[in-house]
Amino acid sequence: MTLRRLFPLALLVAAWPVFAAGSGVVGENLLWLALIILAARLFAPLAQRVGFPAVLGELLLGVVLGNLGLIDFHYFDAIARDPIIMFMAELGVIILLLQIGLETRLGDLVSVGARASMVGAVGIVVPFMLGAFVAGPLLLKGLDFNAYLFLGATLAATSVGITGRVFRDLGKLKMPEAQIVLGAAVIDDVLGLVILAVVSSLVQAGTVSLVDVLLIIAKAVLFLGGSIAIGRAMAPHLLRQASRLDSSHSMLFSLVLVAGLFMAWLAHKMGLAPIIGAFAAGLLFEPVFLKEFETPKLVQDIEPLLAGDPLHKQEEVRAVLRRHTRHQHEQMIEPIGYFFVPVFFVLTGMQVDLTALADPKVVMIALGITVAAVVGKLVAGFAAGKGKNPWLVGWGMVPRGEVGLIFAMVGKNLGVMSEAMFSVIVIMVILTTLLTPPILTVLLRRQKS
Amino acid sequence: MTLRRLFPLALLVAAWPVFAAGSGVVGENLLWLALIILAARLFAPLAQRVGFPAVLGELLLGVVLGNLGLIDFHYFDAIARDPIIMFMAELGVIILLLQIGLETRLGDLVSVGARASMVGAVGIVVPFMLGAFVAGPLLLKGLDFNAYLFLGATLAATSVGITGRVFRDLGKLKMPEAQIVLGAAVIDDVLGLVILAVVSSLVQAGTVSLVDVLLIIAKAVLFLGGSIAIGRAMAPHLLRQASRLDSSHSMLFSLVLVAGLFMAWLAHKMGLAPIIGAFAAGLLFEPVFLKEFETPKLVQDIEPLLAGDPLHKQEEVRAVLRRHTRHQHEQMIEPIGYFFVPVFFVLTGMQVDLTALADPKVVMIALGITVAAVVGKLVAGFAAGKGKNPWLVGWGMVPRGEVGLIFAMVGKNLGVMSEAMFSVIVIMVILTTLLTPPILTVLLRRQKS
């Protein structure tokens, strides 16, 4: 007997047989979550065996689940629209960006800051131009100029979630190219918001208020600069205070999680994407701030045994212990990630509507638009500067993922985007999202050898 | 830019300033979760410092948050009614019972089975009788007989969540008394459902269908017996198969979680409480089934250093490593627990309406009913048999928690329970729920000395 039944149960008692059979949707969510986590977990090693990152397995799983309606199996249709599962997915991508933030050193990010800004700016401007002024008018003739503008905006989007996850799955988050892509993707998330605002405003009012645009940019700069500056100034003190109350690892775990959720909320309040806040929160926890938190029980138990012993490998054993404890805060929210992150990627896959592939003419146009989408971002890769692999950076920016779908959705709802154009964009999103993980894998492997 | 905005955003673009200010409720949930986790985490060490289990801190926090409306602060009012937060709370108690199941050996439970059944049965029958035939008619004169029946049913309820959490917080889950209480509480959860069905049916139809009652019992026995028998027969094979695919700890973690969610759903489908299913799922993972899963990286790294060294404390170091890895599967879902479990207890606390305490006459009657509620369960403690501390067992059964509130809610919605009687029950629930943690703490401390 559980809390959730509090209200439904009161109603259900009136219809006892229904109650006895279980009260529907919320209960069903338990099964859905179990299925998503299980399927993603079983897919991951299979994907890895073929050499691809686990995220590809999750995305493809989502595509399959989301399109079972094609063979008249509609059980999963409700998942993608369920607000609770959607919130879980949202938490998933927040947790993912928090993890990526924890594994990123602010110093590394700052050192690639100028390059990342360049890549970000080029990666927004070039695809936008290509979409609005070249590929759009060329491939989708006779549409309203506003439609081309929206197409450009969609091509400008970047899905930091997909790319970050690929680099993370392959253990490459710390390489300079990954840092540049991360920085650029954060900048693009802000610029994407600006473009969407501008384009939406143009479509609706015919004009753009410069004040509104500047306001969005100001808020973003204020949030990112302010929260990181204030956060990093306060973090050491707050962490020391908290460790005095309880210096266990579980306290630190909760603080990391709370910081992630809080900053995600704050970003959201400032009109930014919550994931940007979660990423910024991850940057606040430098290993050096965490020395007050106790080492895990295991280390405490082994240390006295070592100390009293004339063991010549003593220092090596200590080094192993140190290595594992130092990295622990980076991995500490991993278990939460195993729970939520697959929900996000499976749901992203489920948004993909394969019926868009039914019309060969639409597919041809979509291939053209996809080329523009890829080329636009690859150009940005060459802004990464000497010594960096431009292809890695460029492809890192290619996936449009859920962001591209959101942009297309907005356009469709504003009436500026036709059904056909929407299908074209969905195909472009499918291709850029699903091609990138394997291509990045191949590029990274070649880089190594 | 995230998935959750997919649909709301399309609407919000129509009203750009609103969008820029953030899209409301779902975003707000991020803040609420952060506040609940943070507050619970900061309260816990304070409660422990005074010697009380952390759960008391979370419950009291909930009571405070839920009653801030009294000083005209209504920010938190929406939390307790938010379906997403309610689902999180539901997940919290499911995770908690899964944890408790993981830490319970089926063998231990079977060995106290007969005693637990006795305690469970007495703990249902005596409080029901006391409520329906003694305390009710005596203290709440002139009410309908159905109202007394409902009062009896409410007094019969047991909240396994609260009690399990107290024993767990104090590290006493493995003591025989805790095992008896756990077994009895599981039985009571089923019997409570039967009583609620019978009483509701009597109130509504004036009769009870014996078939319906037997059906509930049959389903419960079938589910518990069947799932544990089939589950334990299949678990070793399924786990071996899964470990061949991926023998990492994260795979095992996901399997445990999936089993918990799946069995919670199955229990729910059978008309039982999801937490019973989660508990049963925890019982499926015996340490011996898990030997195929790899030992953590740390142990792998240290082992070769030990092997090549003439260290006379080598075996002691190994023993420490063994101890920590053996228990690891029991603690592996702990992090998920830190996230969700407090949400459940804070929300349970929030259900408590302190305005019930405003009328001294109601409070006096409530104290009388509380005495009946406590005495009824303490009597059950003496069914635990020789060598067991009857007070520990008895008090372990006392908290009515969210289950008592649900029963009262059903009665209120059926029109059988007056506002005054509802208030009386709310006070009884407050007292039994909040008094039990400190009393159990004192009893356990005295037991030790």
Query: Do the Cβ atoms of B268 and A30 come within 8 Å?
Result: yes
Contact A265 B316 (CB under 8 A): no
DSSP A351-373: T--GGGGG-HHHHHHHHHHHHHH
Specify if A199 maps to a domain.
Answer: yes
Rounded to an integer, the average pLDDT of A27-50 is 85
Mean model confidence pLDDT for chain B: 81
Question: Which of these, A186, A127, A134, A116, lies nearest to A153 by C-alpha position?
Answer: A127
Interface contact A197-B41, CB threshold 8 A: no
Give per-residue pLDDT as tens, B103-125.
Answer: 888 888 888 889 999 999 999 99
Q: What is the pLDDT of residues B305-352, one digit of tens each?
A: 666 655 556 677 777 766 665 556 667 788 888 889 899 888 888 877
Instruction: Work out the number of other CB atoms within 10 angstroms of the CB of residue A114.
Output: 11
The answer to whether A433 and A59 are in contact (CB under 8 A) is yes
Of the two residues A183 and B293, the one the predictor is more confident about is A183
- CA A84, A87, A93, A99 dihedral sign is negative
Average pLDDT taken over every residue of chain A: 81
Q: How far apart are CA B250 and CA A55, in angstroms?
A: 15
Q: pLDDT at position A106, please?
A: 86
What's at A442, amino acid-wise? V
Q: What average pLDDT does range B61-90 have in this prediction?
A: 86
Backbone angles phi, psi at A24, to 5 degrees: 80, -125
Instruction: Please tell me the predicted confidence (pLDDT) of residue B9.
Output: 35
- B413 assigned to some structural domain: yes
**Which tens digits make up the pLDDT trace of B384-402?**
888 889 999 999 999 887 7
Q: What is the mean pLDDT of residues A345-361?
A: 83
**What would the DSSP string read from start to end of A309-332?**
S--TTHHHHHHHHHHHHHTHHHHT
Q: What is the CA radius of gyration of chain A?
A: 24
Alpha-carbon torsion B292, B294, B295, B299, what sign?
Answer: positive
Flag if B245 and A45 touch (Cβ within 8 Å).
yes
Smallest CA-to-CA distance from B427 within B371, B377, B352 is with: B352
Which has more confidence, A382 or A294? A382
Chain A from 68 to 87: CB within 8 A of any B CB: 83-84, 86-87
Q: DSSP readout, B287-335?
A: GGGGTTSPPPHHHHHHHHHHHTS--TTHHHHHHHHHHHHHTHHHHTTHH
pLDDT of residue A91 exceeding 70, the answer is yes
Q: Is B238 on the interface with A (CB under 8 A)?
A: no
* Secondary structure (3-state) at B163: helix
Q: Is residue A404 part of a domain?
A: yes
pLDDT digits (tens, 9 = 90+) for B356-370: 778 888 889 999 999
Q: Dihedrals φ, ψ of A33, to 5°?
A: -60, -45
**Rounded-to-integer distance, Cα B327 and Cα B317, Å:** 16
Give the CATH number for residue A44: 1.20.1530.20
For residues A347 and A79, the answer to whether their CB atoms sit within 8 Å is yes
Does B426 reside within a domain? yes
Which pLDDT band holds residue B146 (cuts at 50, 70, 90)? confident
Q: What is the pLDDT of residues A307-334, one digit of tens each?
A: 665 555 667 777 776 666 555 666 778 8
Highest mean pLDDT among A36-45, A161-170, A411-420, B365-374 belongs to: B365-374
Residue B109 lies in a domain: yes
Per-residue pLDDT at A128 exceeds 90: yes
Q: Which domain holds residue A408?
A: 23-448
Evaluate whether B374 touches B398 at the Cβ level (below 8 Å).
Answer: yes
Per-residue pLDDT for B223 more than 50? yes
Residue B300 · residue B294 · CB < 8 Å: yes
What CA dihedral angle connects A20, A22, A23 and A25, to 10 degrees? -160
In a domain, A10, yes or no: no
Q: Is B318 on the interface with A (CB under 8 A)?
A: no
Whether B376 has a pLDDT exceeding 90, the answer reads yes
In this structure, chain B runs to a length of 449
Residue B5 lies in a domain: no
Taking the CB of residue A17, how many other CB atoms lie within 10 A of it?
A: 10
B281 neighbors B231 (Cβ within 8 angstroms): yes
Question: Are A377 and A184 within 8 A, CB to CB?
Answer: no
Cite the DSSP H helix spans in B21-144.
25-49, 54-66, 83-102, 106-111, 113-129, 136-139
Confidence of residue B299 (pLDDT cuts 50, 70, 90): low
What pLDDT shows up at residue A23?
36
Cα–Cα dist B178/B163, whole Å: 9
Residue B150, CA distances (Å) to B408, B409, B411, B424 in order = 8, 11, 6, 13
Burial class for B214, CB neighbours closer than 10 Å (0-12, 13-18, 19+):
exposed
Compute the distance between CA of residue A291 and CA of residue A428 in angstroms, rounded to an integer.
47
CA distance B26 to A367: 36
Single-letter amino acid, residue B415 = G
What mean pLDDT comes out for the span B71-89? 85
Q: Convert the pLDDT of each residue in A358-398 to its tens digit.
A: 888 888 999 999 999 999 999 999 998 888 999 999 999 99
Structural domain tally of chain B? Answer: 1
DSSP tag of A296: P
Structure tokens given for A245: 């109350």
**Does residue B37 sit at the A interface (CB-CB below 8 Å)?**
yes
Q: What's the pLDDT at A26?
A: 60
Q: What is the pLDDT of residue B40?
A: 87
A262 and B93: CB-CB below 8 Å?
no
Confidence of residue B297 (pLDDT cuts 50, 70, 90): low
- The pLDDT value recorded for residue A247 is 78
* B3–A89 CB contact, under 8 Å: yes
Among the ranges given (A285-294, A427-436, B185-194), the one the predictor scored with the smallest mean pLDDT: A285-294
* Helix pair angle (A176-205, A274-283), 10° resolution: 150
pLDDT number for residue A263: 94
From chain A residues 239-298, the ones with a CB under 8 A of any chain B CB are: 242, 245-246, 250-251, 253-255, 257-258, 261-262, 264-265, 268-271, 273-275, 297-298
Q: Quick one: tokens of B275?
A: 């937490």
A273: left (phi over 0), alpha (psi -120 to 50) or beta: beta
Write out the two tokens for B118: 């006795």
Q: Where in A71-228 does DSSP place strands (E)?
A: none
Q: Using a pLDDT cut of 90, give the percent of chain A over it.
A: 22
Higher pLDDT, A217 or A179: A179
Tell me whether residue B330 is in a domain: yes
Token readout for A56 is 């590809």
DSSP structure class, residue A346: H
- B-proximal residues of A, 209-228, CB under 8 Å: 212, 215-216, 219
Assigned token pair, A249: 């690892």
Q: How far apart are CA B280 and CA B267, in angstroms?
A: 9
Higher-confidence residue of B185 and A18: namely B185
ipTM here: 0.81
Q: Which of A30, A41, A204, A244 to mutate to test the interface with B (most CBs of B within 10 A)?
A: A30
pLDDT at B171 over 80: yes
What angle do helix axes B113-129 and B176-205 make, rounded to 10 degrees?
Answer: 40
